[in-house]
Amino acid sequence: MTKNELIQKFEAVFGEGGEIVTVFSPGRVNMIGEHTDYNGGHVFPCALTIGTYFAARKREDTKVRFFSGNFEKAGVVERDITAMEFDREKGFSNYLMGMVWTYAQKGMVVDAGMDIYLWGNIPNASGLSSSASIEVGMGKVINVLFGFDVCNKDIALLGQYSENNYNGVNCGIMDQFAIAMGKKDNAIFLDTATLEYEYAPIVLDGMKIVIICTNKKRGLADSKYNERRTECETALAELQKVLDIKALGELTEAEFEANVDAIKCPVRQKRARHAVYENQRTVKAVDMLKSGDVEGFGKLMNASHVSLRDDYEVTGIELDTIAEEAWKIEGCVGARMTGAGFGGCAVAIVKDEAVDAFIKNVGENYVKKIGYAADFYVVEIGDGTGILE
C-alpha cells in the first residue's frame, strides 16, 4: 500500500486535516534456530516486506480511536488515555493501547489522544508475528507524534514489555527485535540472552522465499511449548551435575554426545539433542551465507525440520506434509517449519523457475492429504519498522 492510499483510507474514516503520520512495520520469519531462544541459543530471523501499515493523527482530547481495515465490521474502536486497562472485549486494540501504557510506565506520558488507521497483509494466526508488528509499529507512531527519542532497539524492548505485562503473553524478544531491527536482504544472527547481534546477508539471486501457511488452528502449541521447556530445563539440570554450563546452547554436538548419558530419560535426551544441534546449525548457517552458500543453508533448513519432527516432536502432519512435498520439488533449495509448531507456517527457499510448480504441486498434494488448502506467500526480506515514504 502506498502512502497516499493509506492517507486516503485514514481520511475516509476520520476526516481530513492535520498532520498525518504514516508508518510501516513488517512481519518476520525465523529462517533457522527454532526452540533455541529459551535454551541459551541463537535465532536467525528476518523482517519481511509484508506487515502492518499505520496512519495516525494526534487529537486535542484524550480519546484514542482505532480502525482496522482488516476488521471493518468492528467499526471504530474507542479507548481513552485516562483508562488504559486491558479490555478483552476490545480485541486487537489491546496491542495498541498496551504500547501507550508501556510508554507511560517508562516515564514517557502520552498526553493526548490519537486517531489511528491500520491495515495489515500478514496472514492471521500464521506465526509471522502480527502482534509484534502492531506493537513495534505503534511504538514508532507514538515516537513521531509525541516527539520521544526512542531508538528501534529500545522500541522492540518496549514491545516485549507490553506483550508480557499488558497482554499477559510470556514471549521472548525475537519477534519484536527482528521487526524493529530488520535490514533488507539480511537476517539477524541474534543471541537472545545478551541481545548481541550481527547482520548476515541472504543474497537470493534467482531464488525466492516462499511462506506456506498451513491454515491449521494451533491449539496444541501453548501446552506443548511449556512441556518442551520443562523437559529441556530438566535435561539441563541433569547435565549440570557433570558439566559446568548455564544453558544447553553452550554445548557443541561432540560435548553433548560425550555427556548425553547424564540425561536419564530418552525423551529428554531427544529434546536436549535438538536444542544443541539446532543452535549449532544456526551458527553454521551464518558462515554459509557469508560465503554465499545458499544451497548449504538449504540443507541446514531441511535438517532443522527433521530435528523438529523427530527429536522435538512439534511439527504435526500438516507441517510435515508441506516439508516433505517441498523436498520433492526440483528447485526447492530448502524447507522447514518455522515458529512454535503444530500449525502455523513453513518457510522455503525456491529457485525462480520452480516457484509456480512448487506452489501448484505442494498445494495440490497438501489438499489431498489434509483435506483443506494451504496459502502461499512469495515474500522478500525488507527493512525494519520505519516511516512510510
248/160 same-domain check: no
Average pLDDT over residues 274-289: 95
CATH number of the domain residue 273 falls in: 3.30.70.890
Is the pLDDT reported for residue 249 higher than 60?
yes
344/213 same-domain check: yes
95/211 same-domain check: no
Q: Enumerate the active-site residues.
A: 175
Q: Which three cell numbers stand for residue 384?
A: 525494519
pLDDT band, residue 126 (cuts 50/70/90): low
CB atoms < 10 A from the CB of 313, how many?
A: 17
| 106: nearest Cα among 53, 146, 77 | 146
Is the pLDDT reported for residue 93 higher than 90?
yes
CB atoms < 10 A from the CB of 360, how many?
A: 12
Is the pLDDT reported for residue 9 higher than 90?
yes
Better-scored residue on pLDDT, 173 or 325: 325
The pLDDT, as a whole number, for residue 125 is: 65
Max alpha carbon distance in the chain (Å)? Answer: 69
pLDDT band, residue 160 (cuts 50/70/90): very high
Q: Which three cell numbers stand for residue 320?
A: 510435515
Any idea of the CA torsion for 238, 239, 240, 241, to the nearest 10 degrees? 70
Strands 114-120 vs 45-58: parallel, antiparallel or unpaired: antiparallel
Quick one: 356 exposed, middle or buried, by C-beta within 10 A (0-12, 13-18, 19+)? exposed
The pLDDT, as a whole number, for residue 318 is: 96
Question: What range does the domain containing 278 cover?
Answer: 207-379
Is the pLDDT reported for residue 127 higher than 90?
no
pLDDT band, residue 218 (cuts 50/70/90): low
**Of the candidate ranges 132-141, 145-154, 200-209, the one whose mean pLDDT is the lowest:** 200-209
231/138 same-domain check: no
Q: What percent of the chain has pLDDT over 90?
A: 85
170/225 same-domain check: no
Quote the number of domains for the chain: 2
pLDDT band, residue 226 (cuts 50/70/90): confident
103/187 same-domain check: yes
pLDDT band, residue 291 (cuts 50/70/90): very high
Q: Which three cell numbers stand for residue 226?
A: 511449556
The pLDDT, as a whole number, for residue 113 is: 97
Is the pLDDT reported for residue 219 higher than 80?
no
The pLDDT, as a whole number, for residue 283 is: 95
Strands (E), the chain: 21-30, 42-43, 45-58, 63-68, 77-80, 114-120, 186-191, 197-201, 207-213, 332-338, 345-351, 375-379, 386-387
The pLDDT, as a whole number, for residue 170 is: 75
190/227 same-domain check: no
The pLDDT, as a whole number, for residue 222 is: 64
CATH number of the domain residue 117 falls in: 3.30.230.10
Residue count (the chain): 389
159/46 same-domain check: yes
Strands 114-120 vs 63-68: parallel, antiparallel or unpaired: parallel
Is the pLDDT reported for residue 255 higher than 90?
yes
With the C-alpha atoms ordered 348, 351, 356, 362, is the resulting torsion angle positive or negative?
Answer: negative
271/167 same-domain check: no
The pLDDT, as a whole number, for residue 128 is: 78
220/241 same-domain check: yes
**Of the candidate ranges 49-63, 75-89, 216-230, the one whose mean pLDDT is the lowest:** 216-230
Residues 6+ apart with CB under 8 A from 38: 172, 229, 232
98/220 same-domain check: no
Average pLDDT over residues 262-276: 98
275/133 same-domain check: no
With the C-alpha atoms ordered 336, 337, 338, 340, is the resulting torsion angle positive or negative?
Answer: negative
Average pLDDT over residues 252-268: 98
The pLDDT, as a whole number, for residue 389 is: 84
> How high is the mean pLDDT of the chain?
94
Do residues 358 and 332 lie in contact, with contact meaning Cβ atoms separated by under 8 Å? Answer: yes
